Structure formats: C-alpha cells, structure tokens
Chain A
Amino acid sequence: MIKVIDVCKSFGNLQVLKNVNLTVAPGEVVVIIGPSGSGKSTLLRCMNYLEKIDSGKIYIDGQLIGKKEVNGKLVEAPAKEVYKMRENIGMVFQRFNLFPHMTVLNNLMEAPVLVRRMDKGAARKLALDLLKKVGLEEKANAYPAHLSGGQQQRVAIARALAMEPKIMLFDEPTSALDPELVGEVLSVMKELAREGMTMVVVTHEMGFAREVADRVVFMDEGRILEEGTPQQIFTNPQHPRTREFLAKIL
C-alpha cells in the first residue's frame, strides 16, 4: 500500500531523512517511534507530499507520489496530480487544525463537496454517520472552539475519513491533549484499525503501539534503526539506541 524507497530529505544543512526504506501492507497498522528530531513526523509528511523529498521514491497504492517519470527521469509532478493523490490519504495532525470558522458539520462536509463534488445531502449524511462513529453527533452544529481537545481530535479524524481515504496518517495525534483526553482519541483509532484501515501512526503512546500495531518502527537521526512486531521491539530490542530510548520512556 505504501512503499518508501531510499528517501532523503534535508532542511538546509540538516539532513532529516537518510535513505529511509519502509513498506506498509494494506490493512497494516505501523507505529513509528523515536526521540524528537528523529525525522518520524517528516517521514509521515513526505507520504502525502506536504514535504517534498530530495531523492528516492514514495509509492502510494502503486502510484508514485509527488514525482513523475518522464523519459526515465524523475521530475516533480504537476500540483494538480499531487492534489488528486492526497484525496486517498487522510492525515490527522498534532494540533487538530480544524477550520475554526466552520461548524463541525461543515468541517466534515467541506472537502467532499468542494473536492469530490459530492452532493450536499449525501455529504451531510456521510458527515453525520462519521460523527456518530466518533461519538460526537450532538456536536454537529458546534464550532471547534467550543470543543475539548479530545473532541476536536475526534472531529479531525472524522473529517479525514469523510474523504474515504485508503490510508490514514497520524502525526502525534495525542501529544497536544490533556492526559485524561488521550483515551477517547486512541479508542477511535483502535476502532479504525479493527476495521482494517491502513494506518501509519507517529506517537509516544507506547501502550497503543503495543496493543494495536502490527509493526513498530524505531527511528533515530533520520534513519530507521529497527523494525519488528511490538513484541520484538518492546521485549527484545536489538539495536542499542532502541534499548536506550525504550529505557528512558518505559
């Protein structure tokens, strides 16, 4: 479903991704862990091309993202094609990024109506179904500012799902939440995983990784140092950096 091949990325002189390779199978839940500054969020943001990559290739559902092969050479794809590809990739952000000038319902309806030209009635029904799924149907007409952080993040997940994506990317979805609100967001994510959604999750929630991940990937200083089942990574880490990291946080 996702194939990251030899991806490099620098911000100025700082190389944040160094020849990263990663494959995610359909329906798989991959959790990326690692210290801050390890490049895990950047890797995630490259997958829907919010960040351009310097070299390498990323395939989503068999399609090259952000690039195009012309006469055997890799060139930047036209913006239009990048927009189109993003429709299949939902993303949830650390800071929720709900649209504050719209009601919850309109947050969910906006993209399906604008981008997919969905009929308003159908979009509304889809939005209400999704709100029900995340347990917030009664908040349909509220503005984001009137919701708690946990509620906002659940709306943000529903908003991404409204585009009926094939893949969901989560960029530290619970890091900005008060501790008591983390659970409600994680349980929505667990539900999604059970339904077979392909998910890539950057998180510090080791409990979630242990319980839900099919595979855990440990990143440090722009490289994937180790990957394996949660069992392998948490009980028998091979790389000294992984051991050091886990010792600090567990």
Chain B
Amino acid sequence: MSGSSGFVWDWAFTIKMLPLLIKGAGMTVLIAACAISLGTCIGLVIALIKVVRNPILNYLGGLYTWVFRGIPLLVQLFIIYYALPGATGINLDPFPAAVLGIGMCGGAYIGEIIRAGIQSIDKGQMEAALSLGMSYSQAMRRIIIPQTYRRLIPPMGNEFITLLKDTSLVSVITMVELLRTAQIYASSHFKPFEMYITAGLIYLLLTTFFTVTFGKLENKLAQSE
C-alpha cells in the first residue's frame, strides 16, 4: 500500500487511532493549561520586580530572564528531569517536570511581554495616581495594569500558542502526549504519514482556538475605549 508511486491514505487506521490521538491531545492541553498558568504567574512577578525602583529586584528579574530565555527549553527539560535527580535528589514525575520546564521558560517570555506592556503606559498615569494619594501598588493594580490588558493580548496570544506547541518537546521526558502518541503508533504500525499529519492537524485545531479566542478578546476590549 505504501509504494513510492502508489501511496494511499489509510483511513481505517486513522479513524481507529483517532481516539488515542485525542486522548494524547487531552494530555497536551492539560500540560499547556498548567504551564501557561504557571508561566503567567511567574511572568507577572518577573515583570513587577523588573519595573519597581529596586536595583536588587531589577537585577534578579533580569537574571531570571537571561537564564530561562537563553537556555533551550529542550535542555531545560533534560536538566529538570534527568540531571536534577542525580545532583540534588529532587526526583520529579514527568508531568510536574514538564509543567515546570515549560512554565518557567514561558515565564521568562511572558515577563518581558508584561514588562513592555507596563512600560508602554504613559508615565503621567502613575504620576496622576500618586498625586491623588494612591500608593505605588494601588496605582499599579487599579490604574496601570488594567490599561495594559488590551496591549498585552496580541503578544500573549502569540506566546500561548508557542507554549502549546512547545509541549510537543516533553515527549523526550517520557510524557505521553499528542506527539508521543502519534510517534508510538507511527512506528509500531509503519504509518508515519497518517499519524504525524493527523497530529499536526490536531495541533493546528488547538492553536486555532487561541487565535480565535484572542481575536475576539481584542475586539471586545477595543469597544470599551
């Protein structure tokens, strides 16, 4: 069936494997959701410690970005899953290792996105808030950060899509998610074409969800201004 001239897509096999791929996609979504949440929390903290007037915190924020943005995610995953247990005795299961790896790396990027968003707000806004007696943190929470939402949506949408796709890397630390599922059945049944194309389409479907959601969100926030 798979001669060089006579390739025929094996629909029966594809349909039979679809539930397994969808189950793998479920794990992909779970990892992505956890990693995105973690990355957003980390990113917010990193952004804030980079904008406050405190050189030590600024430095630590910069250090974090430097390390976690500068080392390839794949290497970070290897370190967390394979190197840490031997060196420190910290032995993580594949799932928390995956979430931690992607989340910490994503946090470095999201931190930069949020920092840029905060710094793009006219500095007169902070001055006006302070002149009314607000504290720095009240001004941040009520005046500055809410104004960044609309500006953050396009780059955050991008980043969420990247993180979702990055989950495909965790197959190397034995996580069975969408790509790993496809890989297993592609090799056991010699159907790489069906399995990888289908997996690719499922990824496309998932990232499309983000594209559409963020597009709607942007429109909605645009209306209130």
Contacts and interface: CB of A to CB of B under 8 A. Distances in A.
Interface stretch (B59-67, B87-95, B120-128, B165-173): B120-128
B143 A99 contact: yes
Contacts of B147: 99-101
Q: How large is the interface on A (under 10, 10 to 19, 20 to 34, 35 or more residues)?
A: 20 to 34
Contact of B124 (A79, A95, A110): A95
Interface string B119-142: 000101101111111111010001
B19 interface: no
Nearest to A162: B132
Contact of B136 (A79, A115, A156, A160): A79
B135 A93 contact: no
A159 interface: yes
Interface residues of B, number: 20
A31 interface: no
Interface string A209-236: 0000000000000000000000000000
A167 B128 CA distance: 15
A114 interface: yes
A217 B124 CA distance: 26
Contact of B127 (A80, A97, A114, A160): A97
A86 B133 CA distance: 5
B92 to A, nearest CB: 40
Interface in A104-125: 110-111, 114-116
B142 A86 contact: no
A116 B134 CA distance: 9
A79 B135 contact: yes
Contacts of A95: 122, 124
Contact of B134 (A48, A90, A93, A111): A111
A87 interface: yes
Contact of B131 (A79, A89, A100, A116): A89
Interface residues of B: mostly helix, strand, loop or mixed?
Answer: helix
A83 B142 contact: no
Residue from the set B132, B142, B143 with the largest chain A CB neighbour count within 10 Å = B132
Contacts of B143: 99, 110
Given A99-B125, A100-B225, A101-B147, A91 B131 contact: yes
Given A101-B146, A114-B138, A160 B132 contact: yes
A170 to B, nearest CB: 12
10 contacts: A90-B131, A91-B127, A93-B128, A97-B122, A99-B128, A110-B142, A114-B134, A114-B138, A114-B142, A145-B225
Smallest CB-CB A-B distances: 6 pairs: A87-B133, A97-B128, A111-B132, A91-B131, A97-B124, A115-B133
Interface of A: 48, 50, 79-80, 83-84, 86-87, 89-91, 93, 95, 97-101, 110-111, 114-116, 143, 145, 156, 159-160, 163
Given A91-B131, A110-B132, 20 more contacts: A50-B127, A50-B130, A50-B131, A80-B135, A83-B130, A83-B135, A89-B131, A90-B131, A91-B128, A93-B127, A95-B122, A97-B122, A97-B128, A98-B128, A99-B143, A101-B225, A111-B133, A114-B142, A145-B225, A156-B128
